[in-house]
Structure 1
Amino acid sequence: MTVLVTIPARRGKAAHVRQGQVVKVINTHGDQVVDTWAFNAHDLTEFMSMEHTRPHILKIIPAVGDAMMTNRRRPILTLLEDTSGGIHDTIIAACDSHRYRFLGVEGYHDNCTDNLHAAMRDLGLEAPETPSPLNLFMNIPVRPDHSLSFEPPVSTPGSHVALRAEMDLVIAFSACPQDILPINGVGHMPTEAHFSLEG
């Protein structure tokens, strides 16, 4: 039986995943960016690394069949299915309190860095650092002049990606709380997303 787990709006969620299991990440409302991390369950200092994945797949957006690599250059997750339009991000670091101060926020703002660490602590674990995440459904186009822009997702309600675990791992998600830039849709507030484990 497949159990659907909620990633609450503006919050994080983590889970243990066995090698060979498939994690299905669902963009429930269509516009929600989901920051995604994966750590070797037996050694949290080994984790999914965008810096190590890009030279392996030779692209900045993974496609079906591509393996995400760890900081020790081993496969940790493989992208099996993508019904979301195929636009994701491997460039942008997780938002944090410093980012929101730069954007003019006074006081505390929910952020993906804190969400990662809170989600890991919910499992009794401590993430050794905040790796750059795989930003599922995030749309950061590279223009002809090599500049970047923050654009709304192209994903649709109920669309999903499926990721196969290539080792025993801990996966962590953040339903990104960004509400200043349009990365969760123009005029849209952050929403919950969901994931399930199969196999």
Structure 2
Amino acid sequence: MGSEMQVVPARRGRAVRLKAGQAIRIVNTHGSQVVDTWAFNADDMGEFMSMEHLHATLGSVFPVTGGALVTNRRRPILVLEEDSSPGRHDTVIAACDVHRYALLGCQGYHDNCTDNLHAALGMLGLRSGETPAPLNLWMNIPIGAEGRIEWGEPLSKPGDHVVLRAAMDCIVAMSTCPQDMIPINGANCTPTEVHYEVLG
């Protein structure tokens, strides 16, 4: 039985608990919003979805529909069950943080995915001692033949969604990336809200 659709406001984070077998459907409501996404073992926050370990498992930098997303202990934690977008999600770039925005020339505090992760976990009474590299849903980072990366605009469209099914009891955290200085959230560089629901 699914729950009601919930919102992750623009520039903010949310986290949900999933039992093994449950799933979360995340909807790119306006079509161009990047969602930094993490998953932690509900029984041990020291085990979490790991992009570095995923690369070795997949032999690719792009997650594949039907494929498992693995932890730093190389165990499946989520399965990418559905993906209505072209399937370009980034697994290379770290979550943005205050240091990233300072290097881009931002004066003063800037909302960021690192702080959003920890705030979202805090809403559930949880904490993590680190910020794992996220699965950046819908973030388009083309990688050239020589290994150079580009900051592309998302290839997704309004209403595109992914379904992530829990392979173990876990915490899934999401941040609507606040990046408004380069066009990863679309050409107009305007972060927007996304929606999600928990599926039985």
Q: Does TM, normalized by the shorter one, top 0.5?
A: yes
Unaligned ranges ≥5, structure 1:
none
Structure 1: how far apart are the matches of 2:65 and 2:58? 11
In the alignment, what sits opposite 1:71? 72
Alpha-carbon shift at residue 5 of structure 1 (Å): 1.3
Structure 2: how far apart are the matches of 1:137 and 1:40? 24
Structure 2: how far apart are the matches of 1:178 and 1:65? 29
Alpha-carbon shift at residue 90 of structure 1 (Å): 0.3
CA deviations over 1:22-59 (Å, ceiling 9, x no partner): 11110000000000000000010100000111100110
Residue aligned with 2:38, SS: strand
In the alignment, what sits opposite 2:92? 91
Structure 2: how far apart are the matches of 1:152 and 1:104? 21
Structure 2: how far apart are the matches of 1:80 and 1:44? 24
Q: How does 1:1-199 map to 2 (within 5 A)?
A: 1-199=2-200
Residue aligned with 2:45, SS: coil
In structure 2, what residue type is equivalent to 1:193? V
Unaligned ranges ≥5, structure 2:
none
CA deviations over 1:60-108 (Å, ceiling 9, x no partner): 0011011111011100001111101111000000000000001000100
Question: What is the root-mean-square deviation of aligned Cα atoms in Å?
Answer: 0.7
In structure 2, what residue type is equivalent to 1:160? H
Structure 2: how far apart are the matches of 1:46 and 1:104? 34
CA deviations over 1:90-130 (Å, ceiling 9, x no partner): 00000000000010001000000000000000011112210
In structure 2, what residue type is equivalent to 1:111? N
Structure 2: how far apart are the matches of 1:152 and 1:135? 13
Structure 2: how far apart are the matches of 1:42 and 1:10? 28
Structure 1: how far apart are the matches of 2:46 and 2:162? 26
In structure 2, what residue type is equivalent to 1:178? Q
In structure 2, what residue type is equivalent to 1:41? A
Corresponding pairs, count:
199
Residue aligned with 2:175, SS: strand
Structure 2: how far apart are the matches of 1:187 and 1:170? 32
Alpha-carbon shift at residue 187 of structure 1 (Å): 1.2
Residue aligned with 2:171, SS: strand
Residue aligned with 2:44, SS: coil
Alpha-carbon shift at residue 13 of structure 1 (Å): 0.3
| Structure 1 runs (4+) greater than 4 angstroms displaced | none
Alpha-carbon shift at residue 188 of structure 1 (Å): 3.5
